[in-house]
Structure 1
């Protein structure tokens, strides 16, 4: 007989009975929430049930009100690449979110098994996530603020999916210089953009571009771009250090992928891609053409002739080479006929 031990947070989560849902097994426990696989009883279907960790404070209550308002906007979004929100609310003082169940593997688990991924798979995942975040920003002007391997799901069939949209937590901090209190968006130190680390109140989709770039870096090299012995040191490096060249970490990475990551992770967001459409275009360039850095460290992408075009030209050259002996023989016959005709006419004129 096996004995399952649960943490205090897990026990508290299980004590909260959400009407219409039954706990099955724990999927993951994070710093802000515990995720369970559950069953929606009336429909007999599996779902994800996420219980957010709270402390019962007034600030926490205000935060949960904000999250609930965001969930209403997220629930209106319908896209294959976005995990669908089914229900959300407060029960017995606990905030919960119910989403569709996705049979597959979280990217974070795959990276623990494989360390790094093939470039073709990296670019496929990047294209799917960029397309989804483009839709989210275009439809509802929402950004994720916590893109990382934990919030990317890889279904057994289909494209990569974004989870936990709208669940990024915020915190109030007091500016020691001005004395003002402002609300900042929290994230995960290994993947946070510099402006998010600084506590900027004007974040937009470009912070997600940086975080997706950091996630691509992890997929390509086997480690995040910056790691420190504590969170503060990691965030400091995001602010002040250039990312290590991905090809120095793993030389097998193509120059194209390295330059894509570099551009997405520029310190100043104005130097990154200007839209998700541009991100998708850059990913497509890397997938379909040879890419090189025009200027070391600039992050700019430029294309040369695609391999397909090179193969087509090479085939054309081979065809010309294959037919050249025949063409030479025909040309020889033509010149022989011309010379014979000239000799015949010349002979007649002389005899005349």
Structure 2
């Protein structure tokens, strides 16, 4: 084979329509793969057009997990296209070489395939029409590379019959969805879910679905027969993975996952927690994979019917069940109504107490100012807050999506200079002028609190905790240690507040929610939540299309208003006040921050000094 501009190195593989070659592209001095159409097909205009159309369509899909198409041309009347060369092996080659794929590695491969097919379907309405272990490669770095995505494989009687007679359909049939096997004219992304389920079944058990059968028989079995539950073959498999395969390989497309997000979320859960997935399915849902739970439920239902055949008993049970449901519903409604009323009363009392405390503090400051107006002024540095961290640093693909607006850039709470009544005396700081040791302790405590404040204004509680821990290890007296202990406990409580907020997002994993960001509502779909961040998909609707972009959101990047709305009543009130003080400061709301500055526990003094 001679192609101008390329040095052919070796033949890689032969397929039903063409041959794949490894070559060197002379102009760029890079290794590529070239697929040429079989010579006996070059006289068939339909075969030539299909070959070129597949190449051009594949070139429109840009994804790190998809083998890229670089060029389409012809040489000596033979069409060809140039692709990215993958130095690796197909899944089939890996399994047939007796190389074991671990459980976690298998699910990671499944996740990569799922994410890639999701993007192809959502953004371009493209499915993979021939997804098998032979069309998925793993390179030597462990990356997944999918071949032929965007190519069209015809599923009509003549094409399938021809492929079977040529032997090209021998392995493909094991992974074909029932709707493909019955030559349905319209298939969608759910066929790829079935294909992926069959691939995972093979990877986890080492057995192909309906292995050992003739291709025509396999197609019939895909429609009407079942295969063993994976754990019946590989005893150590977690039920989570088995249940996912059961769901992916449902006979009817409507009984599979509603979308790729649901499927990948379950795969992610199974990978991280090995938690069993309990999907709610219609009673008539049948999977190609035998579901032991469904069979057990069916047997139990038959036994109950045999033991209680009388229709009168069934009517009585139904009637009592309805009465019980009505009773429980009324009880819940009454309880919620009472709870809301009590919560409203509690909020009113708390708000009144806060207002009274703020008014009392304001009156006290005015009185002290009048009594001490002639005292000499003592300079005191104003509290300054550094800018909040930019949310863009953690966003996949360096997309600048979540940039905090100017209104939330941290600024000093006030530009007011120190009041005239501030006197340079030891009494103001509670320091005995004759006690140099006490003065040193107070100075050290003040330094630690200022450093803690700087970290908190960056919304970095962990760094603040480290500062206090370091100071505690070097504390020279019990008095200083006691004060630092109080500060440490306050920070731990504030950390607990962050954990409860993350837990509120964790409860919504797999769901699409609306959050406030940059003073507007945005929609995100929660994929997972770990100890430090939220992994989600940002949903941006433009016209009739919805664009999706994976994002990672840390606590420091969450909108202050969103955090305040999610802050519940758990944890000490002083910790909640301290956390709210930081958020109000970020929002440049000195009035709100000042109203609670004196009620923030070990940080009350440093907060209050910034609001005088």
Match of 2:11 among 16, 20, 26: 26
What is the CA-CA distance between 1:227 and the residue it aligns to?
Answer: 1.9
Tell me how far apart the structure 2 counterparts of residues 91 and 242 of structure 1 sit (CA, whole Å): 48
Task: Work out whether 1:78 is the aligned partner of 2:69.
Answer: no
Secondary structure at 2:117 match in 1: helix
CA RMSD of aligned residues (A): 2.8
Report Cα offsets for 1:17-42 as digits up to 9, x if no partner: 33322211121223333211111111
Tell me how far apart the structure 2 counterparts of residues 64 and 274 of structure 1 sit (CA, whole Å): 37
Q: Which residue of 2 aligns with 1:313?
A: none
What is the CA-CA distance between 1:298 and the residue it aligns to?
Answer: 7.3
Which structure 2 residues correspond to residues 139-150 of structure 1 after superposition, within 5 A?
A: 139-150=123-134
What is the CA-CA distance between 1:124 and the residue it aligns to?
Answer: 0.5
Report Cα offsets for 1:251-302 as digits up to 9, x if no partner: 1211111111111111111111121111111111211221154684579xxx
In terms of fraction of residues, the more helix-rich structure is 2
Task: Work out whether 1:170 is the aligned partner of 2:149.
Answer: no
Tell me how far apart the structure 1 counterparts of residues 39 and 127 of structure 2 sit (CA, whole Å): 23
Task: Work out whether 1:254 is the aligned partner of 2:246.
Answer: no
Q: Which residue of 2 aligns with 1:326?
A: none
Unpaired runs of 5+ in structure 1? 1-13, 175-185, 310-352
Secondary structure at 2:27 match in 1: helix
Q: Which residue of 2 aligns with 1:130?
A: 114
CA contact (8 A) 1:190 1:226 kept: yes
Secondary structure at 1:273 match in 2: coil
What is the CA-CA distance between 1:172 and the residue it aligns to?
Answer: 5.2
CA contact (8 A) 1:82 1:161 kept: yes
Task: Work out whether 1:271 is the aligned partner of 2:270.
Answer: no
Task: Work out whether 1:237 is the aligned partner of 2:226.
Answer: no
Which structure 2 residues correspond to residues 13-52 of structure 1 after superposition, within 5 A?
A: 14=1, 17-52=2-37
Tell me how far apart the structure 2 counterparts of residues 95 and 220 of structure 1 sit (CA, whole Å): 39
Report Cα offsets for 1:51-93 as digits up to 9, x if no partner: 23364487x4224323423432321222111111111234334
- Bigger mean CA deviation after superposition, 236-245 or 62-71: 62-71
Secondary structure at 1:24 match in 2: strand
Q: Which residue of 2 aligns with 1:152?
A: 136
Tell me how far apart the structure 2 counterparts of residues 105 and 91 of structure 1 sit (CA, whole Å): 28
Match of 1:65 among 45, 49, 52: 49
- Bigger mean CA deviation after superposition, 211-220 or 133-142: 133-142
User: Is the radius of gyration larger for structure 1 or structure 2?
Assistant: 2
Q: Which residue of 2 aligns with 1:99?
A: 83
Which structure 2 residues correspond to residues 309-348 of structure 1 after superposition, within 5 A?
A: none
Tell me how far apart the structure 2 counterparts of residues 40 and 278 of structure 1 sit (CA, whole Å): 42
- CA gap of 1:298–1:53, structure 2 versus 1, over 3 A, is farther
Tell me how far apart the structure 1 counterparts of residues 292 and 131 of structure 2 sit (CA, whole Å): 24
4+ aligned runs moved over 6 Å, structure 1: none
CA contact (8 A) 2:22 2:31 kept: yes
What is the CA-CA distance between 1:189 and the residue it aligns to?
Answer: 0.7
- CA gap of 1:32–1:62, structure 2 versus 1, over 3 A, is closer
Matched residue pairs, number? Answer: 277
- CA gap of 1:33–1:280, structure 2 versus 1, over 3 A, is same
Q: Which residue of 1 aligns with 2:449?
A: none
CA contact (8 A) 1:189 1:235 kept: yes
CA contact (8 A) 2:175 2:195 kept: yes
Tell me how far apart the structure 1 counterparts of residues 279 and 261 of structure 2 sit (CA, whole Å): 21
Tell me how far apart the structure 2 counterparts of residues 54 and 198 of structure 1 sit (CA, whole Å): 31
Q: Which residue of 1 aligns with 2:561?
A: none
CA contact (8 A) 2:35 2:81 kept: yes
Report Cα offsets for 1:292-349 as digits up to 9, x if no partner: 54684579xxx9xx9x99xxxxxxxxxxxxxxxxxxxxxxxxxxxxxxxxxxxxxxxx
Report Cα offsets for 1:188-227 as digits up to 9, x if no partner: 1111111111111101111111111111011001121112
Tell me how far apart the structure 1 counterparts of residues 217 and 15 of structure 2 sit (CA, whole Å): 21
CA contact (8 A) 1:257 1:286 kept: yes
- CA gap of 1:230–1:215, structure 2 versus 1, over 3 A, is same
Report Cα offsets for 1:156-199 as digits up to 9, x if no partner: 2253121122344326547xxxxxxxxxxx89111111111111
Unpaired runs of 5+ in structure 2? 159-168, 281-290, 295-506, 508-527, 532-612
